[in-house]
Amino acid sequence: MQRGLAKGDRVIIALPNCPEFIYSYLGAARAGGIAVPLNLLHTPRELAFIIKDSGAKFLITNQFIGQQIKQLPNLDLTVTILDENSIKEILSSPPAAFPEVKSEDTCTFLYTSGTTGQPKAVMLSHDNLIGNVISMDEAAKFGRDENFLVVLPMFHSFGWSTSVLLPLYIGCTATIIDTFRPKELLQILSKERITIFCGVPSMFTVLLKTRRQTTFPTLKYAISGGDSISEEHMLAFEKLFNFPVIEGYGLSEASPVVCLNPLYGVRKIKSIGVPLPGVEVKVADDDDRELPSGEIGELLVKGPNVMKGYYNREEETRSALKGGWLHTGDLAYRDQDGYFYIVGRKKELIITSGFNVYPKEVEEVLTAHPTVAEAAVIGVPHPVKGESIKAFIVPEEGRTPDKQELLRFLKGHLAGYKIPETFVISSELPRGATGKILKRMLK
């Protein structure tokens, strides 16, 4: 407050995983400001866009990151560089008089990855974040003896809500590491009495490649989100490390967690589980009519965790929240037991010769082949079929996929129209901050 922050002012937080990130975020929120965490993996152009688009007036960062941000053009920010001296100054300052902050006030802007066009700021209220944390706790019944490993980026909704806000709400321990280093992470899981590890599929895949059969005496389970994990990799991971991986589903617009496989009930592999308490989920057709079990449609969400809207994007907000339901853009179906399954993105649906092809189905078959570590499937324009299928493949270490062998394998598992016409072998796939494959870059 001493630096002139008024209620509703946006505060850019550009820090790696560290306690100071938490203090800055919660301090800005308590003072009535709106926290805007920066994805540190963004390019200078992307960072400049977010700073300008958010209308931020303040920046909290460290010396190294601050030097890079200061080089961006046309910035007008009040900058706080967190170092030993500035922290001492802040701690010695007299307590500030805080404004009234209402639960429905906007707490944070979370910028989406911008799969189409420029990134959009998801506006989440205090109610949204608190409601999601309470729902997660009700679903899982965590205890005060838990120790969450914080390895996901704090600037991302999944890492922030599940690994920071949740343990803060419960009143348990959080062990912070600044970035994902596989060997170090395995050591910490083994020796620091970690009970819960939230990660993304790419982390589990990399850990699997270490082939280190380490014991984890206190670890109860890992929670995987942000993208789907192949059944083959999940089973291999659990066999090697001897603890379960629980899959869930969420998106920034829902604060972010929507569904989770029961931690102490029936877990269905390849399913995202069941809705959190207080959250409604349905699968609907293009007219928002709910579809019966087994039929594929768009996943719609309603609940206290659903965003207020997109900042300065009224038309896109109306479209996303049409009829009072959050339209996720994800295609899914529900089974007879009420478990949901994601089959792909609505905008990634491939239509070839009039047939619908869901990339995820093809990717799962490809990664089941012993020479394929990872796969990403997209549609590309075709003069006759409308679209043809193109597969990008990362080989297993020391293996070389053979196209004819892959085609024979795929023909045994997929209808002919679902089989890729083109294969591209690559050393890696482009990924976002949480490891999700960026198909727009492949296109």
Q: What is the largest CA-CA distance in the chain?
A: 72
pLDDT at residue 305, rounded to an integer: 98
pLDDT number for residue 115: 45
Q: How far is the C-alpha of 8 from the C-alpha of 5, rounded, in Å?
A: 8
Q: Work out the burial of residue 227: count CB atoms within 10 Å of its CB; fewer than 13 is exposed, 13-18 middle, 19 or more buried.
A: middle
Tokens standing for residue 77? 């920010």
The per-residue pLDDT for range 137-164, each reduced to its tens digit, is 999 989 999 999 999 999 999 999 999 9
**pLDDT tens-digit profile of 302-339?**
999 999 999 999 999 999 999 999 999 999 999 999 99
pTM: 0.87
Q: Does 434 or 398 have the greater pLDDT score? A: 398
Statement: residue 109 has pLDDT above 60 = yes
Residue 290: CB atoms within 10 A of its CB come to 12
pLDDT of 295 over the 80 cut? yes
Residue 2 pLDDT: 61
What pLDDT, on the 0 to 100 scale, is given for residue 119? 86
Cα angle for residues 305, 306, 311 (degrees, 5° grid): 125
Number of Cβ atoms within 10 Å of the Cβ of 33: 26
| 178-212 pLDDT, tens digit each | 999 999 999 999 999 999 999 988 899 889 888 77
Domains assigned to the chain: 10-101 (3.40.50.980), 349-442 (3.30.300.30)
Q: Over pLDDT 70: what percentage of the chain? A: 98
Closest CA relative to residue 203, chosen from 174, 237, 177: 237
Task: Give CA torsion, residues 146, 147, 149, 154, to 10 deg.
Answer: 80
pLDDT at 3 over 90: no
pLDDT of 1 over the 60 cut:
no
Residue 275: CA atoms inside 13 Å, Cβ hemisphere, count?
17
Q: How far apart are CA 12 and CA 1, in angstroms?
A: 15
pLDDT digits (tens, 9 = 90+) for 336-367: 999 999 998 888 889 898 888 989 899 999 99
- Per-residue pLDDT tens over the stretch 49-68: 999 999 999 999 999 999 88
Report helix angle 231-241 to 201-210, nearest 10: 50
Query: Cα–Cα distance between 36 and 25 in angstroms, integer?
Result: 8
Is the pLDDT reported for residue 274 higher than 60?
Answer: yes
